[in-house]
């Protein structure tokens, strides 16, 4: 509601915010703050924020058996520890009850393996020809050559061939491709000089 007139001015309620009430450039340019985690200025770097929390509440269910249940010292995390000890037990029974004696073996057949004997030939029949397993003879294969420049598995020595002398960059090379002085016929001197008088007898 407007008030009474004061001279030629009448007080009235303001129609918008006043610039003097703000410490920032103004209500039109409302810049975000640079502190805190929420509503931070996106054009500026934000430092890491840490929050203080209380201690963790104790667990209601404990996984430890407690001092009430005593564990024997021989029980470890890998099982029960047993020190090395000797056991008293009977001798195991053998599967062979009666062992053979010295007279049960024949030593005559082992003489050729123990003593030196002369070679002996045996007369036997010729074995039958196996047609399924006929291998080729030595003349069937062709061995790669070992001489020349192109060898398969050996190192080739340098080879030289007889050829003509190259005319490239030599004194006999005709670079200009023009005829020589002997290619033209001899011109008479009377053609390009004064002809001398001729006399006939």
Angstrom CA distances, 27 to 1, 31, 32, 43, 90, stand at 25, 9, 12, 20, 104
CA distance 185 to 179: 12
Token pair of 25 as six digits: 């450039």
pLDDT tens, per residue, the chain with 201 residues = 577 888 888 887 777 777 677 676 665 566 777 887 788 888 888 888 777 777 777 666 666 666 656 778 888 888 888 888 877 788 777 776 677 777 777 766 666 667 777 777 777 777 776 666 677 777 777 878 877 777 877 887 777 777 777 878 887 777 777 787 778 888 888 888 888 888 777
pLDDT tens readout for residues 111-133 = 666 777 777 777 777 777 666 66
CA distance 13 to 1: 7
pTM: 0.16
Residues 151 and 144 sit within 8 Å (Cβ to Cβ): yes
Q: Left if phi > 0, otherwise alpha if psi is -120 to 50, otherwise beta: which for 37?
A: alpha
Residue 20 carries which DSSP code? G
- 36: closest CA among 28, 26, 47? 47
CA distance 14 to 168: 108
């Amino acid at each position: 509601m407007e008030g009474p007139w004061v001279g030629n001015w009448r007080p009235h309620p303001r129609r918008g915010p006043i610039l003097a009430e703000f410490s920032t450039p103004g209500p039109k340019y409302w810049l975000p703050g640079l502190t805190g985690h929420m509503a931070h200025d996106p054009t500026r770097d934000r430092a890491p924020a840490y929050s203080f929390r209380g201690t963790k509440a104790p667990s209601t269910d404990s996984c430890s058996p407690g001092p009430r249940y005593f564990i024997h010292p021989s029980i470890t995390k890998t099982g029960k520890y047993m020190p090395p000890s000797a056991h008293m037990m009977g001798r195991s029974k053998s599967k062979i009850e009666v062992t053979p004696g010295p007279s049960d073996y024949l030593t005559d057949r082992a003489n050729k393996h123990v003593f030196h004997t002369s070679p002996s030939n045996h007369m036997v029949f010729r074995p039958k020809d196996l047609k399924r397993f006929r291998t080729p003879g030595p003349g069937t294969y062709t061995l790669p050559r070992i001489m020349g420049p192109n060898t398969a598995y050996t190192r080739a020595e340098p080879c030289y061939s007889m050829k003509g002398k190259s005319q490239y960059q030599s004194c006999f090379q005709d670079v200009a491709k023009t005829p020589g002085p002997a290619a033209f016929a001899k011109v008479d001197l009377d053609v390009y000089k004064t002809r001398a008088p001729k006399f006939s007898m």
